Amino acid sequence: MGMISEFKEFAMRGNVMDMAVGIIIGGAFGKIVSSFVADVVMPPIGMLTGGVDFSEIKIPLGKASTDPATGAVTEAVTMNIGVFANTVIDFVIVAFAIFMMIKIMNSAKRKEEAAPAAPPGPSKEEVLLTEIRDAIRAK
> What's the pLDDT at 1?
63
> What's the pLDDT at 3?
84
The whole-model pTM stands at 0.51
Is position 127 within any domain?
no
Q: How far apart are CA 52 and CA 96, in angstroms?
A: 25
Buried b (16+ CB within 10 A) or exposed e, 29-49: eeeebbeebeeeebeeebeee
| Domain of 30, in residue numbers | 3-118
**Any idea what the CATH number is for the domain that residue 102 is in?**
1.10.1200.120
Q: How far apart are CA 33 and CA 94, in angstroms?
A: 6
- Domains held by the chain: number: 1
Is position 106 within any domain?
yes
Is position 137 within any domain?
no
SS3 59: strand
DSSP symbol at 56: G
pLDDT in tens, 43-64: 887 788 787 777 788 898 888 8
Residue range 33-42: average pLDDT? 80
pLDDT in tens, 72-90: 888 888 899 988 888 888 7
Q: How far apart are CA 92 and CA 117, in angstroms?
A: 40
Is position 41 within any domain?
yes
